[in-house]
Chains A and B, each alone.
Chain A
Amino acid sequence: MSDRPERSELDGTPVGRRVVLGLIGLGALGVVTGSTIQQGLSRALAPVQLRDPTGLSQYLPIGDTFRYYSVAGAVESQDAATYRLAVSGLVNTPTTYTLADLHALPQVAITEDFHCVTGWSVEDVPWTGVRLSHLLDLASPTPEAVAIRFRSFDGVYTENMTLAQARDDVLVALTMYGEPVTDAHGGPVRIYAAPMYGYKSTKWLSEIELTDSNIPGYWEERGYPLDGIIGE
């Protein structure tokens, strides 16, 4: 008699196992169909977020928002007075630009989806700035120059791309959504490399150094692909 309660508890239906397997199944389905679900979700929830008086909905993981990545500690902000961009290395005309210098150069606009390599993305982000290839022409690379090493004034971040890649749709970006690039988004000046994942778009840009080899940057050293082309 005394062992009956235990036996009856262990003889029940295995609901726990079904819940675990069910969640794994739903998770797998979500991974495969997730990018479609996400588009629907952000469309459905965007109006709610606009009218949400509590502000709580901004913390929902809708996916269609920028996430702020900084690999350094606190980044000291730079403004028009203090900001400098150096184009250096294997060039015939090394140059240092102020923010005003960059604004005085021809401006180009690109509107594209922003993709992070880990999977989140933001649709139709408008950028303007100076085409990187224009700055390269002004600096006149020497024949030995084959790649670029970008540096950030966060003191830690570096990025790389080949000169050929740099002459594609790559901006030294000064505005985003029609406003100066904010501190949080890597302002006042950052790279926007349209064909590539977000990690290739160096924030808080301080230096464009031309090099004789394609030196892996910060995330490339930590396992991300050297080229970082979206979809690869």
Chain B
Amino acid sequence: MSIARFTAVERAVHWAVAVLMMVCILTALVLYNGSLALLVGHRHAVVTVHEWSGIALPVPMLLGALSAAYRLDVRRLNRFTEADWAWLRSKDRRSGRIRVGKFNAGQKLNASLSVGATLVLLGTGTIMWFTGLVRLSWRTGATLIHDWSALALGLLVLGHVVYALRDTEALRGMWSGRVSVQWASREHAAWADEVDPG
């Protein structure tokens, strides 16, 4: 028995963002790492790909907002309930003792930290792109913040991928849109009851 977890729109947004994020990360590695930079060269081409994939990154999310299902899930990710705080504090998060909703607190934090870091990277990236916008000391600040945010977001994405690969049912949910009832009742009990009260 399986239940619907993500609509086609939500999955399309997720994978479009994933592809753009990987392009940003790979080009960032070439721009940042000296040996890679010298190996690949063509700095202007790499910069251009990095800039445009960065600018494009929020577009799928903005388009997703046209879908009611997407907006509802964004609202779920935004809100922290008593159960979420209890889940975060608990030592047996995976036991299913604390009945969390469609998203657990870790997923919610991942979502908001990713969005926040992405917006910071967009802002600081724009300052570095258009060097005439602000004075030099602010550009220095923008470069510093861009670098540290990129490092933090890179680690966050890495963690996200590791968790997804360790829980293949969760991954299947984002790939096919459906998950097993057993998985839903174990990992997201309150949500499972909501969609399938029987």
A63 CA / B150 CA spacing, docked (Å): 13
A60 CA / B123 CA spacing, docked (Å): 21
Say yes or no: A63 contacts B147, CB within 8 Å: yes
List B contacts of A184 (CB < 8 A): 34, 38
- Does B168 lie at the interface of the complex (its beta carbon under 8 Å from any beta carbon of A)? no
Say yes or no: A34 contacts B116, CB within 8 Å: no
A-facing mask of B143-182, CB < 8 A → 1, else 0? 1110111110000000000000000000000000000000
A26 CA / B32 CA spacing, docked (Å): 23
- Does A53 lie at the interface of the complex (its beta carbon under 8 Å from any beta carbon of B)? no
List A contacts of B44 (CB < 8 A): 71, 218, 222
List A contacts of B132 (CB < 8 A): 225
List B contacts of A5 (CB < 8 A): 101, 190-191, 193-194
- B129's closest neighbor in chain A, by CB? A118
- A13's closest neighbor in chain B, by CB? B80
- Does A179 lie at the interface of the complex (its beta carbon under 8 Å from any beta carbon of B)? no
Query: Closest Cβ of chain A: how far from B33's Cβ, in Å?
Result: 8
Say yes or no: B144 contacts A16, CB within 8 Å: no
- Does B186 lie at the interface of the complex (its beta carbon under 8 Å from any beta carbon of A)? no
List B contacts of A16 (CB < 8 A): 77-80, 108, 111-112, 115
- Does A121 lie at the interface of the complex (its beta carbon under 8 Å from any beta carbon of B)? yes
Residue from the list A37, A67, A223, A231 in contact with B144, Cβ < 8 A: A37
* Given A9-B81, A10-B79, A184-B34: A31 and B39 interface contact (C-beta under 8 Å): no
B-facing mask of A113-127, CB < 8 A → 1, else 0? 001011111000000
- Does B24 lie at the interface of the complex (its beta carbon under 8 Å from any beta carbon of A)? no
* Given A23-B119, A35-B137, A63-B140: A9 and B41 interface contact (C-beta under 8 Å): no
Say yes or no: B190 contacts A10, CB within 8 Å: no
List A contacts of B42 (CB < 8 A): 70-73
A34 CA / B128 CA spacing, docked (Å): 13
- Does A82 lie at the interface of the complex (its beta carbon under 8 Å from any beta carbon of B)? no
List B contacts of A63 (CB < 8 A): 140, 143-144, 147
Residue from the list A26, A69, A119 in contact with B128, Cβ < 8 A: A119
Name which of A5, A60, A119 has the most chain B CB atoms within 10 A of its CB.
A119
A-facing mask of B101-125, CB < 8 A → 1, else 0? 1100000110111011101100110
- Does B97 lie at the interface of the complex (its beta carbon under 8 Å from any beta carbon of A)? no
Residue from the list A9, A24, A70 in contact with B190, Cβ < 8 A: A9
Query: Closest Cβ of chain A: how far from B27's Cβ, in Å?
Result: 14
**7 A–B contacts, CB within 8 A, in A order:** A9-B79, A15-B108, A23-B117, A27-B145, A32-B138, A61-B147, A71-B41
| 10 tightest A-B CB contacts, nearest first | A34-B141, A61-B147, A23-B116, A119-B139, A12-B79, A27-B120, A119-B143, A16-B78, A16-B112, A9-B101
With A27-B119, A31-B141, A119-B143 known, 13 other A-B pairs at CB within 8 A are A9-B102, A11-B81, A13-B79, A16-B112, A34-B138, A35-B141, A60-B151, A75-B38, A119-B139, A119-B141, A225-B131, A225-B132, A230-B136
- Give A residues with C-beta under 8 Å from B: 2-3, 5-6, 8-17, 19-24, 26-28, 30-35, 37-38, 41, 59-61, 63, 66-75, 115, 117-121, 154, 184, 218, 222-225, 230-231
